[in-house]
Amino acid sequence: MINLTVKNYNLVFKRPAGTSRGVLKTKPSYFLMLHDSQNENKISIGECGILPGLSYDDKPGYEKKLEELKSVINSTQKVDIDLDLDKWPSIRFGLEILIKDYYSKSDKVLFPTAFTQGQYKIPINGLIWMGERQFMFNQIKTKIDEGWSCIKMKIGAIDFKEELELLKFIRAQFKPSELELRVDANGAFAPRNALEKLKYLSDYSIHSIEQPIKAKQIDQMAELCEISPIPIALDEELIGIFDYSEKMEMIRKIKPQYIILKPSLIGGWKASEEWIQIAKENNVKYWATSALESNIGLNAIAQWTATLEKDLVHGLGTGQLYTNNFQSPLLASKGFLSYQKDKNWSIPL
């Protein structure tokens, strides 16, 4: 007999995390926990993580939908259920994780690969959070001193000239061949001056900029992608599009250089793989990124990412942000995420 329970768990940031949409101190998550009476030593877990103000399913009815999911699984005694979760992308992803974990032969090994054997490390970027200039400077210096080869800096919250000074500081020490620089505006630029700012940023050999203007400004974003001196990566633009033909139409109209896949925000692995298929058909590159999940969700995204193309630098370094995260085999260090198979999980839920 199987029994699903749902637990609400607030992840607490070690330091408030600044974005152009505001400052986060905590991040809500819901964990699907499945007990099986035939295997009492194993608890299968899926994470449903929402980002307030950004997730499509950050709306009334979320907990009711989780209760519906719990009711269907417990009454049917089936994990592989047919429940319409298209408009609940984080719940769909949580269920995907739960199902994979339930059928896994090893604890939390969802995709057995060289990564989970400790034989392959996933290249990742070091994340620089928004904040006061000195705080951002200290983060940058720490990442450089630690030997990261790709840094992603969130911009759009402090004075733009100060942000340019920080980029200038980085480039004064490292050439593009030595250090890859990515920036993430989270839609902070206004369409009227976005191109001007992109031109200033291009002086520092930026690899790409994520979402320079807010999502759903299709014509303006298409124009920027055509003339921008910096390659543009769509992030928030992918949220809330579930129909295949709509995805294809958006990519063909905007013609971005990159798309960024966040399974919690776009509907899980299946939806992400659909985006990858569309991207490849339109000569668009991609990479995968976590969306502030706990180590449960990060583990699921990382193991899936390890099955993708190997020449990509992904954004999977957010597992170290919380005071109350779970002990796991994951280790982010010096530009790589590795899986230490001799380390055990500790999930006191």
Give the domains, in start order, of the chain with CATH numbers: 2-103 (3.30.390.10), 122-339 (3.20.20.120)
DSSP bridge pairs for 259: 234, 286
Q: Select which of 121, 152, 154, 197 is catalytic.
A: 154
86-106 b/e (C-beta count within 10 Å ≥ 16 → b):
eebbbbbbbbbbbbbbbeeee
- Nearest Cα residue to 312 out of 273, 236, 244, 259: 259
C-alpha pair distances (Å), 79 with each of 10, 295, 311, 336: 25, 22, 35, 34
Q: Select which of 65, 197, 247, 262 is catalytic.
A: 262
pLDDT at 161: 94
Query: pTM for this one?
Result: 0.95
Residue 10, token pair as written in the block: 């607030």
Residue 142: which H helix or E strand, with range? helix 133-146
Tell me, yes or no, if 105 is annotated catalytic: no
The amino acid occupying position 287 is W
Q: Cα separation of 308 and 303, whole Å?
A: 10
**Cβ–Cβ < 8 Å for 349, 134:** no
pLDDT at 21: 64
pLDDT at 144: 86
Per-residue pLDDT 10s for the chain (349 aa) are 999 999 999 999 998 876 656 778 899 999 999 999 988 889 999 999 999 989 999 999 999 999 999 999 999 999 999 899 989 999 999 999 999 999 998 889 999 999 999 999 999 999 888 778 888 889 888 988 898 999 999 888 789 999 999 899 889 988 999 999 999 999 999 999 999 999 999 999 999 999 999 999 999 999 999 999 999 999 999 999 999 999 999 999 999 999 999 999 999 999 999 999 999 999 999 999 999 999 999 999 999 999 998 888 999 976 788 999 999 999 999 999 999 999 999 998 8
pLDDT at 60: 97
The answer for residues whose C-beta is within 8 angstroms of residue 201's C-beta and 6 or more apart is 164, 167, 183, 209, 230
Q: Residue 216's CB: how many other CB atoms inside 10 A?
A: 14
* Residue 265 burial by Cβ neighbours in a 10 Å radius (0-12, 13-18, 19+): buried
C-alpha pair distances (Å), 49 with each of 71, 147, 185, 324: 20, 31, 22, 15
Residue 258: which H helix or E strand, with range? strand 258-261
Tell me, yes or no, if 262 is annotated catalytic: yes
**Cβ–Cβ < 8 Å for 156, 180:** no
